[in-house]
Amino acid sequence: MTGHEMHRVLPFPYEAGRFPFDLGAVVQNTVLRGEEPAREVGHTADGEWFIGDGVNDPNLPGASTATHIWHAIERDSSIADLATMPPGHRASRPSAAEHWQVQTLDGWGG
């Protein structure tokens, strides 16, 4: 996707229930590099997306990158299944072998 425009927020729901190619997300670098699986995916109330490994601190300097969400999906195609998850929700799982469990972001400190 290099050189393509990236948007932090796009109108939801997405066409055909698929992530738009120009949608951005904050993704933990351990997930982008394939060092850790994605264990958390969040869709904030204001429409932004984040993807984390669920074990390392995503807020440390250099720990996360704003990039096209499709870079994370290339590492883990199951993230694409979450394109219909509404704003204000997060999906989590203990490991890549488990199914995503969706809940509201209320009360979650991540």
Q: Are 108 and 37 in contact (CB under 8 A)?
A: no
Buried b (16+ CB within 10 A) or exposed e, 56-72: bebeeeeebeebbbbbb
Selected residue with higher pLDDT from 43 and 110:
43
Q: Decide if pLDDT at 108 tops 80.
A: no
| Domain residue ranges in the chain | 21-100
C-beta of residue 17 within 8 angstroms of C-beta of residue 56:
no
Query: What pLDDT digit, counting tens, does each position of 13-41 carry?
Result: 999 999 999 999 999 999 999 999 999 99
Predicted confidence (pLDDT) per residue in 25-84, tens digit:
999 999 999 999 999 999 999 999 999 999 999 999 999 999 999 999 999 999 999 999
Sign of the C-alpha dihedral, residues 64, 65, 68, 70? negative
Q: What is the pLDDT of residue 110?
A: 44
Cα separation, 83 vs 33, in Å, equals 22
pTM for the whole structure: 0.90
